[in-house]
Amino acid sequence: VVAYGIQIDGVNLTYSALSVIAKGSLSSAGTTTLTKSNYSDVTEFKVVFIATGIRDTSDEERRPSATVGSSTITITQPSNATPHQYMVLGR
């Protein structure tokens, strides 16, 4: 249970210093790549996905995924995924 704030991977960010550094929409299959060096003062990155639109709860939902590498963040939207918003958080 989260009293307030958000939770990522089971970790409450209630007292976190994370800020939104990038955001966008994912509606069709493909990848979005962010270069970490564009955010030189950020040392920790987390990616959050939020489903948008009307969802069919009887269907298993396919979700986007993110990989945080040493120099880039790659966000992948599968071809059969529902539309999502993404936020990249950093501190």
Residue 1 pLDDT grade (very low, low, confident, very high; cuts 50, 70, 90): low
Q: How many CB atoms lie within 10 A of CB 44?
A: 11
What digits encode the pLDDT tens for the residues 54-79?
Answer: 877 777 778 899 999 999 999 999 98
What are the tokens at 80?
């059969």
Task: Give the DSSP letter string of 13-69.
Answer: -TT---EEEEEEEE-SSEEEEEEGGGGTT---EEEEEEE-S---TTSPPP--EEEE-
Mean pLDDT of 26-37: 94
Residue 33 pLDDT grade (very low, low, confident, very high; cuts 50, 70, 90): very high
- Structural Rg of the chain based on CA atoms: 14
Max distance between CA atoms of the chain, in angstroms, equals 43
Computed over every residue of the chain, the mean pLDDT equals 86
Q: What is the Cβ-side half-sphere exposure of residue 44, based on CA atoms within 13 angstroms?
A: 5
Tell me which residue has tokens 């939902």.
Answer: 61
Q: What is the pTM of this model?
A: 0.79
pLDDT score, position 80: 83
